[in-house]
Structure 1
Amino acid sequence: MRKYLCLLPLLLTGLAAHAQGNALASFNLQQAETLKFGMLALGIWALLNILIGSFRLTKSSRNKRYFYQMNIYWNIVHIIIAGGCLYFILSANAAGRTLPESTRFHFGYMQLLYLSIGLDVAFLMLGAYLKERSRISPKAEQYLGWGQSIVLQGFFLLVLDVVLVILLEQPTEQLLRLLQP
C-alpha cells in the first residue's frame, strides 16, 4: 500500500497537467475561430465591395466614379490580407501550441489589432481631410469620392477591429490563469 501512496502525487500532477493542456487547447481553438470569423468577414466585405464597385463604376460619373474606384483598390488589399491570414490560421495547428507559444501569439495578435485600430482612425482622418480638401481643389470630384471611400472603409475596419479586440480580450483571463504556477 505504501509504495502506491508515493505514486499519488505523480498521478495528481499528471491530471493537473492534462487539465491545463485541455484548457490551453480550448483557448487556442477559440482564438483561432475568432480570428477566422474576422478574416472571413473582411474577405466577404472585400469581395462584395469589389463586385458592387466594379458594376457601379461602369454606370457612375463624377465623384461616385472615384468612390467606387477607390473601393475596388482598397478591397483588393483587403482580400489579399484576409486570404493570407486565413491561410495562416487554417494551416496552423492551434491546439498543439505550447503555453509560451500561445502567450506570444495571443499578445502579438492583440498588439497588431491595437495598431490596426490606430491606423483605422488615421484612415478616417485622411478621408475627412480629402473631403475637406475637395472644397478648394481643382480635383474636387476626385478628392470627394476618394475621401468618402476611405471614410467608409476606415469605419468598417474600425468596427471590425474593435469587435475582434473585444472577442479576444474576453478569454485573456483564462490564459493568464494558465500562466500562474
Structure 2
Amino acid sequence: MILGIDHVGLLTDDPAGVGALLDVLGMGRSVAGCADGYGVACEFWTSVHRSDDHTAIEVVSPTRDGSAVDELLRTDGPGMYHIAFAVDNIREELTRLRKHGLIAVDQEPRPGGRPGMQVAFLYAGDPARLLIELVEQETDEATGSLGAPAAIHGEGVAGDEMTPRPRPATAPLSRPPRGR
C-alpha cells in the first residue's frame, strides 16, 4: 500500500548550489549517500522547523560519466526529477502499478541512497509523464516508524559516500516518451 510521499527528487549537476537554496528555504541536509548502480549521489533535505515531518527533498547528481541521469541533464537540464512514494511492500506495489499501465524501469527493487532503503522506478505516461519512485524503508526498530530518514540534521549523518553496492546496469532514468 502507498503510505504517502517520501520525497521529491531534484536533478542537478550543482548539488552545492541547490543545497544553498534549500538552506535558505529552511531545509537541512539530513542524510547523504550514493546509489552506485545508477551512478548518482543522493542528498536528503528535510525541514529544520518541523521534526515531525520527514518528507524530504532529494538532490540527485551524477557521480560518474554514463550515470543514469546524464542524458536527462544534457537534454532537459536541472529541475524536477521524480516523486517518491513510501510503500509498505515494494514488490506488491510494483506489481500492482504495472497492472495499471505504469512502465517499470526497475523489474526488481534495488538499494537506494539511504541505509535500509529499497527503491524501484516506474514511468507514468501521458497525461502526467512522470517518473515515480517507490520507496520501502526498513522499519526503525527504536521508533517502529517506516520511511523516516535514518538520521536527522547532523546526528548520525552518513558521509557523502556510502559503502558501494554492486548492482546490474539499469536503463537511463529519463522522462517517458510522449504518447505512452
TM-score normalised by structure 1 residue count: 0.23
| Structure that is richer in strand per residue | 2
